Amino acid sequence: MAHKKHKTILIIITMVIVSVSIGFTYLYLRHKEMPFLDKMAISSFFEEEEVKVRLYFSSFDASCLALEERKIKKCEDKIEQAKLMIKELIKGPLANNLKPTLPLNCQIKEVFSHKETIFVDFDQNFVEEHCKGSCGEILTIYSIVNTLLDNLNSYKKVQFLVEGKEIETLAGHIFLQQPLFKEKRLIKVETKRGK
């Protein structure tokens, strides 16, 4: 009796193994015939969700900030979303009639928040490679402030750091040892659309 049960279990296991093998062989051969279907399915599965953000760059004559809307990767974490937006500001505008506000070589050291304030810590290039001048300083600072606060509603202020420390000013015209609020008066009314 035990021998008969053992034989039945062995037959069932063998049938399962054969069925699984046939299934894998079928899928393998189908993949060989139509590999593009699998590639399309995989790419659509892993396609990143995007979000439209509002980035502020300098107008061509450096008289104000101009809006450029752009789609970037969507992050559930607001701090990661903030980092991506600042990286887009560093890349510069897509529109030919706008100008960048941040040095191309500056890097984000850290972004973090406390209550309603978001802290942005840059490396030394943020200061050393800045174009200087009062207009340049105002547009640089408020391109970051307005971009972050326009897109991240849970924050009200932005505090700047360089290499983990507070700085008094970027180029001698704006006091940076206290958090800054959004400044709508610097924004040009018409919008510029990026990709």
Closest C-alpha to 116, from 86, 143, 149: 149
DSSP string, 19-47: HHHHHHHHHHHHHHH-HHHHHHHHHHHHP
| Residues 110 and 155 placed together within one structural domain of the fold | yes
Q: Mean pLDDT, to the nearest integer, of 185-195?
A: 68
Give the residue with greater pLDDT, 171 vs 36. Answer: 171
| Residues 140 and 173 placed together within one structural domain of the fold | yes
pLDDT 10s digits, 51-86: 999 999 999 999 999 999 999 999 999 999 999 999
Give me the number of domains the chain comprises. 2
Closest C-alpha to 160, from 140, 133, 185, 131: 140
Closest C-alpha to 56, from 171, 150, 136, 162: 150
| Residues 81 and 107 placed together within one structural domain of the fold | yes
Q: Which domain holds residue 119?
A: 50-193
Q: pLDDT band at 97, cuts 50/70/90?
A: very high
Give 109: exposed, middle or buried? Use CB within 10 Å, 0-12, 13-18, 19+. middle
Q: pLDDT band at 21, cuts 50/70/90?
A: confident
| Residues 42 and 18 placed together within one structural domain of the fold | yes
Q: pLDDT band at 8, cuts 50/70/90?
A: confident
Q: pLDDT band at 12, cuts 50/70/90?
A: confident
**Crossing angle of the two packed helices 134-151 and 78-91, in degrees rounded to 10:** 140
pLDDT 10s digits, 125-157: 999 988 778 898 999 999 999 999 999 999 999
| Residues 24 and 98 placed together within one structural domain of the fold | no
Q: Is the Cβ–Cβ distance between 121 and 161 less than 8 Å?
A: yes
